[in-house]
């Protein structure tokens, strides 16, 4: 459900307020401002608002947005990057290549403000919500050397949410039919099975939608026991724990000869939860996984990491559904006062 409000305020030249959208997503409802056509996509987050909502339409190959023009303002994930945040809490990242091969984000040089452009080819584009964050760097990071990266989630931020519209089958098709993904980072097959061959693959799990996945050829699953899983809350995919300690779920192997599994959730967790599995060559299975910072490119190619995200019922800290009636009422009173004053 989207509630939209638009008011005209006669102050000298007529100024037009932004279009306000309420995006319902269960208990984690958040309010985003959707700029009107022709207006600059500058991320601002007044009291009670998360940020701005943009849409990369199926016929567009790029979209630009700006952060506030201050010296200590930066974009998260920090450039150069090929990743985006998967949820509005800006905690977990995924690769843009999992949305569309060839997708990239860069800063536009020479722009008046901190302006960035997300580019995405038409063929093979999937529907996805991308999140970026405009935030202030810590004071010591601005003045000190740039050898130490800033934290991925700034304390104060304005969220840029970009809804990516999938391209039509006709657009992404060639003479031989729809373009096929080379699966370097993995993809979901037509059968509904997520295949993990190499690199990093991201998938979601919910009570309504179990996850069926399969390791690529010559790869075996880690942890070995279906009762265990890697806790990915730190993004490292290293610490093996009991699945039941993180989630009310169960996993079973579907085929004795293949590494194919189905993960089923019985109940949604209270908070957003990140799980992880690794598909590795059998000789690697006995070795403890290295940390992400110690991992080499060659090692990444020898395994596939499956990151599973489960949405929590409490959601991220945001302006929830219960706060919307008060916010809408205040907006209505504000607009009524403007109309009466104008008359």
The pLDDT tens digits of the residues spanning 59-90 come to: 899 999 998 877 778 899 998 888 999 988 88
Q: Is the pLDDT reported for residue 297 higher than 70?
A: no
Task: Give yes or no on whether 8-139+152-171 and 184-310 have one common fold.
Answer: yes
DSSP string computed for 209-226: S-EEEEE-TTEEEESSST
Q: Can you tell me whether residue 330 is helix, strand or coil? A: helix
Using a pLDDT cut of 90, give the percent of the chain over it. 27
Q: Can you tell me whether residue 139 is helix, strand or coil? A: helix
Its pTM stands at 0.47
Could you read off the pLDDT of 27-41 as tens digits, one per residue? 344 588 888 777 789
Q: What's the confidence (pLDDT) of residue 184?
A: 34
Here the tokens at position 54 are 């943009």
Q: What's the confidence (pLDDT) of residue 217?
A: 86
Q: Is the pLDDT reported for residue 1 higher than 70?
A: no
Per CATH, which fold does 8-139+152-171 belong to? Immunoglobulin-like (2.60.40)
Alpha-carbon distance 134 to 159, whole Å?
Answer: 6
> Helix, strand, coil % (nearest 5) of the chain?
15, 40, 50
What is the phi/psi pair of residue 143, to 5°? Answer: -90, -20
Cα 245 to Cα 92, 227, 250, distances in angstroms: 20, 10, 11
Alpha-carbon distance 330 to 338, whole Å?
Answer: 12
Q: What is the DSSP letter of 126?
A: -
Under the banding of pLDDT at 50, 70 and 90, the label for residue 248 is very high
B/e letters for 133-164, b = 16+ CB within 10 Å, e = fewer, are bbbbbeeebeeeeeeeebebebeebbbbbbeb
Q: Is-contact 83 131, C-beta < 8 A?
A: no
**Torsion 324-325-326-327 (CA) sign:** positive
Q: Is the pLDDT reported for residue 178 higher than 60?
A: no
Q: Is-contact 150 137, C-beta < 8 A?
A: yes
Bond before 223 cis per omega within 30 degrees: yes
Answer with the residue of higher pLDDT: 171 or 232.
232
CATH 1.10.3860.10 fits 184-310, yes or no: no
Only one residue has tokens 């309010």, namely 31
CA nearest to 217, candidates 198, 200, 199: 198
Q: What's the confidence (pLDDT) of residue 68?
A: 81
Alpha-carbon distance 59 to 10, whole Å?
Answer: 36
Here the tokens at position 297 are 């490119």
Domain boundary assignment for the chain: 8-139+152-171, 184-310
Q: Can you tell me whether residue 336 is helix, strand or coil? A: helix
């Amino acid at each position: 459900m989207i509630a939209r409000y638009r008011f005209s305020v006669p102050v000298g030249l007529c100024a037009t307020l932004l279009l306000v959208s309420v995006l319902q997503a269960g208990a984690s409802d958040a309010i985003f401002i959707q700029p009107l056509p022709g207006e600059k996509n500058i991320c601002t987050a007044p009291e009670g608002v998360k940020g701005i909502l943009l849409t990369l339409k199926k016929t567009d190959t790029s979209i630009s947005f700006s952060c506030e023009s201050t010296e200590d303002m930066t974009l998260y994930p920090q450039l150069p990057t090929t990743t985006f945040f998967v949820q509005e809490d800006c905690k977990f990242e995924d690769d843009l290549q999992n949305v569309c091969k060839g997708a990239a984000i860069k800063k536009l040089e020479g722009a008046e403000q901190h302006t960035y452009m997300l580019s995405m080819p038409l063929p093979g584009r999937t529907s996805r919500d991308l999140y970026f964050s405009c935030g202030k760097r810590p004071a010591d990071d601005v003045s000190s050397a740039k050898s130490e990266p800033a934290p991925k989630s700034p304390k104060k931020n304005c969220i840029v949410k970009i809804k990516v519209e999938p391209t039509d089958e006709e657009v992404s098709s060639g003479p031989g039919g729809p373009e096929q993904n080379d699966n370097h980072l993995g993809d979901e097959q037509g059968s509904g099975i997520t295949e993990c061959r190499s690199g990093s693959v991201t998938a979601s799990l919910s009570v309504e939608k179990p996850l069926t996945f399969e390791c690529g050829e010559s790869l075996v699953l880690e942890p070995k026991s279906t009762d265990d899983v890697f806790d990915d809350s730190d993004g490292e995919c290293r610490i093996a724990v009991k699945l039941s300690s993180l989630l009310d779920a169960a996993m079973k192997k579907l085929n004795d000869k293949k590494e194919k599994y189905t993960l089923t959730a019985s109940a949604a967790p209270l908070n957003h939860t990140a799980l992880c599995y690794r598909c590795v060559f059998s000789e690697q299975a006995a070795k403890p996984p290295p940390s992400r910072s110690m991992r080499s490119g060659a090692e990444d190619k020898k395994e596939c990491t499956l990151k599973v995200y489960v949405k929590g019922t409490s959601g991220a800290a945001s302006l929830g559904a219960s706060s919307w009636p008060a916010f809408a009422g205040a907006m209505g009173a504000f607009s009524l006062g403007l109309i009466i004053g104008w008359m």
